[in-house]
Structure 1
Amino acid sequence: MAPPSSTKAYTDAWLAGYDGTQFYTRTYAAAAPRAVLLYVHGFSEHIARYEWAHSRCASEGITVFAFDQRGFGRTALDAAHRSKKSSYGRTNLHDQLSDIEWWLTHLHKEYPGLPLFTMGHSMGGALILAFATRTSPPPSQESIALLSGVIPSSTLLLQFVSTSRPVRVAAETLSLILPNLLFDASLPNDYLSHDPAVKAALEADPMIIQKGSLRCLSDTLNNGERLYKHEYKNWPKNLPVLFMHGSGDRVTSFKAAQEFYENLPAEDKTFNTIEDGYHELVHEPNGVKEKYMDDCIAWMLERSKRPTQPGSTSSPPAAQEPAAETAPVVP
């Protein structure tokens, strides 16, 4: 890992994933950690956008580990450090779920004995739900048992305005031939936050490219739909879950998230509605984002006091040691 810096709230490093792909990562270390959080960002974005939120977690005793997903952020676009096979939008559901399992195992080894949570935004929210419910590819039960709780936020189960079935079928068919072909997936930035400064920052951010590969787009929409229709039934009953969703979200369906929550067979589940909140709750103004993070932090810390889940003390799944790290990042 990169050495601590007096000018940054985090350390950053390039770490190898399960298949040797190099990932840009950040760790926000709590001085006296009470829990650890794995953060999974959304479509077409990157982890640098969460610096204030992850710093807030660390100040409250929750160490945060975040990574730019394959196909996005610096993992895809940093020419000096990225893997040769990495490019923008190049990803798929199998690799995304395998990445989550890899980093959970990594964190279990790095922070033994601490409660481990995962949180995801939009596409990332659907991924962390799928991690615990998918039958193909199945995550190991040992990895699921490592978790003390899951927080999906503004989750992409169904779109607010659905892509037409003919377009989706055509894209899915073409993705079998040209999986990494980029396709426009732009949305009005006005839909993301009530804060005009957020819109301006998005428009100026070279790491935000509102496109995705055909494979990624097809996998993302199909994954959310499967979760919504039937894979919710596979949820481990003893795995706590906190849903955070804005009622004003015009990107992902607030109604679908509510229905999914109602159907989910979790013994400990909570649905927090942020009235009139847009898609990026972590960037909403007028005290909304602060309340949003306070609620997430309080939920994690409360469940950190509980005994770990059955099986969580078992050895993590065997995994290949990652390839040697590259030099720490020097921005």
Structure 2
Amino acid sequence: MTSLYTEAWLAGSDGHQFYTRTYAAPAPGPKAVILFVHGFAEHVRRYEHVHIDYPKRGITLFSFDQRGFGRTALDKEHKSKDAAYGKTSWKWQLGDIEWWVKYLTKEYPDKPLFLMGHSMGGGLSLAFPTRTEPPPSQNTVKLLRGVIASSPLIRQTTPAPKVMRWAGGKLANLFPFKTFPADVPADYLSRNEAANEANLKDPLIKRIGTLRGLDDMLSGGEHLVEDDYQRWPKDLPVLFVQGTGDKVTSYKATEEFYNKIPVQDKKISLYPDAYHELVHEIDGIPAKLFEECVSWIETHLSSSEGAESDEAVSGPASKL
């Protein structure tokens, strides 16, 4: 435990051990709670510099290293026996999110709960409310007050060839947890050279994935914009934030999904020229992003407070 956050190893629904961090709002307690889901091949410590600010605004933020990543996959002392880097699937990941939604609802009863995800975690956060079969159950989705998707993986900016994707899907059925190179150039992540260099030296980041994990991540994102968007709950607000210079995930696919989902209370903010990781960007973007997310949450602390005009929450994307 530090003065900034509390660390804990907690068991998921199947007993799998997860490394977690809680950035707790001070007394008298939080006005809202965020469940944060990180991206592919990363971990929650990379967000510490921004997550420490949420409690200062009365918001508690809970984060966890996803199954197959970070300390959840690599910590020799605490990890589950069957844990391995990249060993994951959308079924497991969506089930894990459902578990933490229920956990936080019990830990913070009657507090508005928001789901926030970046990149792969952004894709999962958008997929979570659109599933037709458990996980999750629709009763669990109703526990959410809103969703924030940062640079969500719906489609890659430069998609892999279709024949390669097809072959990868077939191989994933035969050898689901065989590892495969999955390197994203560090200079694609942000225009912040120091942050990119830190990514390259980070011992908790491995540039590999498993066939099942990679195929689920890529195909699941495509299903979102091709079909699953139709099942977005009409009463679930959503905020999209992304850079127009994103070389990893397509902001045009995000715009397409935004335009398709059948909900009025939606907003998309595009940061001109910014790259994939807005929290590590230059020109004061991390601070602008933080203020936007907090302000959006504050307008949705109750169902009545979130009832803005259509012009304020929908229509053309805003450029920051």
TM range (shorter): over 0.9
TM-score, L = length of structure 2:
0.93
Q: Distance in 2 between matches of 1:46 and 1:256?
A: 25
Quote the residue 2:313 is aligned against: none
What's the offset of the Cα at 1:136? 3.7
Whether the 8 Å contact between 2:91 and 2:135 is mirrored in structure 1 is: no
Q: 1:208 aligns with which of 205, 209, 233?
A: 205
What's the offset of the Cα at 1:203? 1.1
Give the 3 Å change call, closer, same or farther, for CA 101–307 of structure 1 in structure 2. Answer: farther
Quote the residue 1:179 is aligned against: 176
User: 1:73 aligned to 2:70?
Assistant: yes
Worse overlay, 138-147 or 201-210: 138-147
Whether the 8 Å contact between 1:239 and 1:267 is mirrored in structure 2 is: no
Q: Secondary structure at the match of 2:246?
A: coil
Whether the 8 Å contact between 2:98 and 2:135 is mirrored in structure 1 is: no
Q: Distance in 1 between matches of 2:276 and 2:50?
A: 16
Q: Distance in 2 between matches of 1:88 and 1:114?
A: 34
Counterpart AA for 1:127: L
Whether the 8 Å contact between 1:148 and 1:308 is mirrored in structure 2 is: no
Q: Distance in 2 between matches of 1:169 and 1:78?
A: 34
Q: Secondary structure at the match of 1:149?
A: strand
Q: Deviation per CA, 1:191-212, whole angstroms, max 9, x where unpaired?
A: 1111111111011101111111
Q: Distance in 2 between matches of 1:272 and 1:77?
A: 35
Counterpart AA for 2:94: L
Whether the 8 Å contact between 2:242 and 2:271 is mirrored in structure 1 is: yes
Unaligned runs of 5+ in 1: 310-331
Counterpart AA for 1:260: F
Q: Distance in 1 between matches of 2:91 and 2:302?
A: 33
Q: Secondary structure at the match of 1:303?
A: coil
Quote the residue 1:135 is aligned against: 132
Quote the residue 2:13 is aligned against: 18
Q: Distance in 1 between matches of 2:227 and 2:143?
A: 24
Q: Distance in 1 between matches of 2:148 and 2:57?
A: 17
Whether the 8 Å contact between 1:258 and 1:271 is mirrored in structure 2 is: yes
What's the offset of the Cα at 1:302? 1.4
Q: Distance in 1 between matches of 2:103 and 2:288?
A: 30
User: 1:191 aligned to 2:188?
Assistant: yes
User: 1:33 aligned to 2:37?
Assistant: no
Q: How many residues align?
A: 304
User: 1:167 aligned to 2:164?
Assistant: yes
What's the offset of the Cα at 1:307? 4.9
Q: Secondary structure at the match of 2:66?
A: coil
Q: 1:284 aligns with which of 281, 284, 294?
A: 281
User: 1:300 aligned to 2:297?
Assistant: yes
Which ranges of 4 or more aligned residues in structure 1 deviate by more than 2 Å?
A: 305-309
Higher relative contact order (CA 8 A, sep 6+): 1
Q: Distance in 1 between matches of 2:288 and 2:125?
A: 23
Counterpart AA for 1:148: R
Matches within 5 A, 1:87-106: 87-106=84-103
Q: Deviation per CA, 1:82-102, whole angstroms, max 9, x where unpaired?
A: 000001000001000000000
Matches within 5 A, 1:39-78: 39-78=36-75
Counterpart AA for 1:180: F
User: 1:9 aligned to 2:1?
Assistant: no
What's the offset of the Cα at 1:267? 2.0
Quote the residue 2:151 is aligned against: 154
Unaligned runs of 5+ in 2: 307-320
Quote the residue 2:316 is aligned against: none
TM-score, L = length of structure 1:
0.90
What's the offset of the Cα at 1:171? 1.1
Q: Distance in 2 between matches of 1:145 and 1:300?
A: 17
Over the aligned positions, Cα root-mean-square deviation in angstroms equals 1.3
Q: Deviation per CA, 1:38-96, whole angstroms, max 9, x where unpaired?
A: 00000000000011211111111110000000000000000110000001000001000
